Structure 1
Amino acid sequence: MSRRALLRGMGAMTLAAASTSFLSACGGGGGAANTAAANARVKLPTHVPYAGVTPDLPAGEHLLPGFYRYPENLVTAIKDKPGAGAGKVSILVDTFTPVPPPLSGNAYWQALNDRIGADLAFNMVPDSDYSTKVTATIAGGDLPDMVMLPSWTPDLPGVLRAKFADLTPYLSGDAVKEYPFLANIPEFCWRPMIANGGIHGLPTPRASIGEIMFVRDDLVAARSLNPKPANHAEFVELCQGLTDAKAGRWALGDTGLGGGGALLFLLESFGVPNGWAEKNGKFTNAVETEEYTEALAALVAMVEKGLFHPDTFSATFQQGRDWFGTGKIAMKVDGYAAWDILLGTYPGIDVGGLLAPAQDGGGDGRHFTGKGSFAVTGIKKGDEKRVRQLLAIANWMAAPFGTTEHLFRKFGVDGVDHTMSAGLPALTGTGETNVKIPMQYLVDQPAILGPGDRTVVDKQYAFHKEVAPLLVPDPTVGLYSPVNASKGSVLSKALNNARSEIVRGNQPVSGWADVVRQWKQNGGDQVRGEFEKAHAQQ
């Protein structure tokens, strides 16, 4: 399974025994210090929202602000060079786009270093190779100053405690106000940074809405289909209307066996818990519920009806996006940020979001809350001066929309890397090549909608507003289970393998009960008990 597939699976919690918090549920190497009681005592960074720009569409609880264009008068928020005196700053980070030209041939990178006042030495590793690179780097003795650590990093709490700085003295409570753009990041995004009784990383902020079932609204309209199915039966009818195998078109292209996909949507529709359910201190895993079995059976039925692309089980993540963009499939579950990516990559398409309806049509739809951070950025251990220098650079990288720092970070130099029209920047050919340094995977501003075409931003905002009150949280976020830490991946693999056999038609749905029974005996019940104990200690 690819790193991104694992991240999507964890975010969706369809891998039922997967880690529930990037740090608090990782390996046992975190030791006794990494307990629910110790982590519960940590004071999160005080949230001080940036008030320097007024959105066109206001923010709300779980609702992102929307912007149609950049303000006419941008604010230069950081007067001094934040990295002055830092010298060389080595950085290891993942990238999902082609690696840009090196410093010697990249005017944007050179301008970035000049603005920061330091030599930012980025080691940008393609995603396909990042697992190998970051694992070898951690095992070696010479760490970069800043490292993007994926959630699957083995024994992440122990790694952070042993090799990276404890940021609690610098960021806990009001201390974070020295770094106002880190203080602008919501508490929701900081919670996964808690481990070993402290703050042990910087977040790459993500919205609570998590993943969305994207729909090619233009294809739905062209076939005069119902764009808002009120129950599961109507959803299947929509899928059937979008499927024409002879014409090379199908409704879907991802069952969700590696995380997310159609299974995520069906779990939401059938009322399955987001990973776990908690009632009066007692925990029930999603896979134990009747609704989970019903959703699994519904997925099998949809596969049997031929509603999925015939290469679904072998497709890569990018192939799925290409199928969606070219109309070979009409629906795809992806991260919320993919809305803009899809529109930008495949011009002329119309994209919308679909809320999972209650499967029987009764009550409101549901949507699983996502994680607050894409990954964890570790700061190398050093003296206070060095740590503060690195935090000042991170603060610059998190400068929000409405600042000159943000515009430069995203689009480079006006007239060279981008041109501006009606308040909207567009990358030039030079910018498309050079402005690809993936700082957004180290730290970033909180998520926003836009800036962009007003019709698109309004459509995104309306969907987010519809979903916001219907979010279903995972009650184990922030809780620690030693057994889940040590055996969770093995338990998840067994569930995944069995589910794959069922969805592919090699085993009956009726066999799922035995799979769950085995999961409970092999450690699932122990995980439950430990989560219940941790919950009681909160």
Structure 2
Amino acid sequence: MTRRELLRGLSALAVVGAAGTACGGPEPKQASGTIRASELPSFADPGIVKPDLKSAYPGGMNAYFRYPPNPAAAFKDKPLGGGTVKGLTYTFDPVAPGLAENPLWQKVNEQIGGDLSITYAPSADYAQRFATTIASDDLPDLVTIYGQVQQLPGLLKSKFTDLSEHLAGDAIQAYPNLAGLATDSWRETMLDGSIWGIPIARPPVSGTMFARKDLLDKQGLSLQPTTFAEFKDLLTALTDKRGSRWACGDPGGVLGMITAALGVPSAWIEKDGAFTANLELEQYEAALEDTRALVAAEVFHPDGMTATNNQRNDWFTQGRTPLVIGGFVGWSKYEMWGAAVQGFQLATILPFSYDGTTKPVHGRGAVIQAMTAIKKSDPSRVKELLRLLDWLATPFGSAEYVLRNYGVENVTYTLKGTDPIVNASGQTLRLVPFKYLSDGTQVIYDPGLQRVAQARFDYQEAALEIIDRDPTLGLYSETEAAKNAQLSAKLTDARTEILRGQKPVSTWKEAVDTWRKDGGDTIRDEYEAAYAKASGSR
């Protein structure tokens, strides 16, 4: 699973606490209530086809078993009136063939009525590309803001357009597809009461513990533990060092499962306006103790501490580690990788109670991956660019959605029934990162694999039921943006030394004290001040 940084920066707490396991939940629990409702875009579902399975939770993904036949265009008029729109964004995929060699991209330009020119960089290199572009003062029309950005409020005010008058409240009805983005995703685009970008919205569920059900069944092992003791027994039973098999390759991920079992949220906890970091809790240290004992019992792959996510995924597919922590949205990739493995069956493990008395939580994920800002422009140009971003957000079931995601029929995909199945050429041609400039509400859809869609939906709904609330939603901490990497590295080093047995668990308190002195307390103060200010303006 790729741990994608949020606009407000990954919390140092999430790095060492939840190990990426996170999700979302019902509106009454998930919303921090720190932004005035009148300032947020009014939500309106732009769905043009009825889902087979409808989520009961705001922000949850609806599921579809097949693509509707003969999809119609959602746009009557082309969003652009000619000319070129330049965009800067990132990608997690290989580079796509350029415009001259890409019939999918050419067809998109034809449909939008102009030329969309996208410059993009790998996500790992995007911060440097972004900084260079900002320093050049030659901004593209559209710029995706991804990851940690220092002095973000000042940057937005000096370089980009305040979109509030175009999008706040009912004004967003002029852009019906953008209006379909979850309300909480818009909270993360707001600073000082203004809307500064279009959210690249994501479903609230993120990290998931996947299991090789076929391997568990072979040993007659129960899939879903109900307590930590049962979970520990499962890890022990799955480990066979002589057979070069270990239960899991991710001690940090298992630490997150244990904190979840103890009912510890994945980052900050707010009570009466006071913020507490999860790593300051006694339960966190107890979970660290338990994880250290599991490391000593050698249930983890020997290289698990330093392995990449790709290595852990390979171990899982090969059966060397029957359990893996992965991104919820990557579910379909595990199914794809496992298709070549005889007998492969994928399943999941939900958070469980620690001892039968604690109430487990499912950590909360990012409601946005990034946001796309519009450089300072005259109002007519801003409206044109918003129409383009609205076109890029057309929903599942539309002809535009098929074009952006699958391409051109009989060129990049063929129909199997009504489902578009991408061919080998289309797999590379469709990697143009349109969706990292703007994208519609994500859905659960696995062409030709109804059982997978059903399983993904069932897990999502169960996870959303036990999500913890994120009090920092819509808040900004300059110290976190500036010091998160440094603080995270120190905490991760301290955790690793403890898990390896190089230092006792009692030294965790020292690491937390250092974190507080080096910036943690300042981050807390900034969040509390921002929370109080926003709450007072309601």
Same fold (TM over 0.5): yes
> TM-score by structure 1 length?
0.89
Cα shift at 1:290: 0.5
**Given the alignment, which residue of 437, 461, 486 partners 1:442?**
437
Other-structure match for 2:144: 148
Cα shift at 1:482: 4.9
**Given the alignment, which residue of 334, 341, 346 partners 1:342?**
334
Other-structure match for 2:278: 286
Cα shift at 1:241: 2.3
User: 1:249-260 alignment to 2 at 5 Å?
Assistant: 249-256=245-252
Cα shift at 1:481: 4.2
CA distance in 2, matches of 1:230, 1:253: 22
CA distance in 1, matches of 2:180, 2:135: 34
- Residue type of the partner of 1:225? L
**Given the alignment, which residue of 356, 367, 373 partners 1:378?**
373
Other-structure match for 1:333: 325
**Given the alignment, which residue of 438, 457, 472 partners 1:461?**
457
CA distance in 2, matches of 1:130, 1:73: 38
- State yes or no: 1:302 paired with 2:299: no
Cα shift at 1:41: 7.9
Q: Which moved more, 1:488-497 or 1:283-292?
A: 488-497
- Asked if 2 retains the 8 angstrom alpha-carbon contact of 1:103 and 1:109, the reply is yes
Cα shift at 1:14: 2.1
- State yes or no: 1:224 paired with 2:216: no
Q: Which moved more, 1:526-535 or 1:361-370?
A: 526-535
- Residue type of the partner of 1:503? L
- State yes or no: 1:262 paired with 2:254: yes
SS in structure 2 at match of 1:471: coil
CA distance in 1, matches of 2:103, 2:14: 44
- Residue type of the partner of 1:388? K
Cα shift at 1:200: 0.6
- State yes or no: 1:80 paired with 2:73: no
Q: Which moved more, 1:477-486 or 1:118-127?
A: 477-486
Cα shift at 1:462: 1.4
User: 1:132-171 alignment to 2 at 5 Å?
Assistant: 132-171=128-167
Cα 1:7–1:299 shift into 2, 3 Å: farther
- Residue type of the partner of 2:268? W
CA distance in 1, matches of 2:466, 2:526: 28
- Residue type of the partner of 1:355? L
CA distance in 2, matches of 1:255, 1:117: 51
Cα shift at 1:483: 4.5
Cα shift at 1:489: 4.3
SS in structure 2 at match of 1:214: strand
Q: Deviations over 1:457-482 (max 9, x none)?
A: 11112111212211112212223445
Cα 1:76–1:483 shift into 2, 3 Å: closer
Q: Deviations over 1:238-267 (max 9, x none)?
A: 2222222332322222233xxxx3332222
Cα shift at 1:17: 11
Cα shift at 1:343: 1.5
Cα 1:506–1:434 shift into 2, 3 Å: same
- Asked if 1 retains the 8 angstrom alpha-carbon contact of 2:42 and 2:179, the reply is yes
Q: Which moved more, 1:515-524 or 1:107-116?
A: 515-524
- State yes or no: 1:117 paired with 2:113: yes
CA distance in 2, matches of 1:319, 1:158: 40
Cα shift at 1:167: 1.2
Other-structure match for 2:14: 14
SS in structure 2 at match of 1:50: coil
Aligned residues: 515
CA distance in 1, matches of 2:408, 2:74: 17
**Given the alignment, which residue of 479, 493, 496 partners 1:497?**
493
Cα 1:65–1:253 shift into 2, 3 Å: same
**Given the alignment, which residue of 197, 202, 205 partners 1:209?**
205
Other-structure match for 2:26: none
CA distance in 2, matches of 1:336, 1:12: 21
Cα shift at 1:11: 7.2
SS in structure 1 at match of 2:402: helix
Cα shift at 1:182: 0.2
- Residue type of the partner of 2:90? D
CA distance in 1, matches of 2:388, 2:158: 23
RMSD: 2.6
> TM-score by structure 2 length?
0.89
**Given the alignment, which residue of 100, 103, 118 partners 2:99?**
103
SS in structure 1 at match of 2:415: strand
Other-structure match for 1:65: 62
CA distance in 2, matches of 1:463, 1:329: 21
- Asked if 2 retains the 8 angstrom alpha-carbon contact of 1:42 and 1:194, the reply is no
- Residue type of the partner of 2:310? Q
Q: Deviations over 1:348-367 (max 9, x none)?
A: 53322221111112254320
- State yes or no: 1:365 paired with 2:365: no
Cα 1:16–1:331 shift into 2, 3 Å: closer
- Asked if 1 retains the 8 angstrom alpha-carbon contact of 2:11 and 2:267, the reply is no
CA distance in 2, matches of 1:286, 1:517: 13
Among the aligned pairs, what percent are the same residue?
37
- Asked if 2 retains the 8 angstrom alpha-carbon contact of 1:42 and 1:198, the reply is no
Other-structure match for 1:397: 392
**Given the alignment, which residue of 52, 57, 60 partners 1:56?**
52
SS in structure 1 at match of 2:396: coil
Cα shift at 1:402: 0.8
Structure 2 unaligned segments of length 5 or more: list them. Answer: 19-31
User: 1:425-440 alignment to 2 at 5 Å?
Assistant: 425-440=420-435
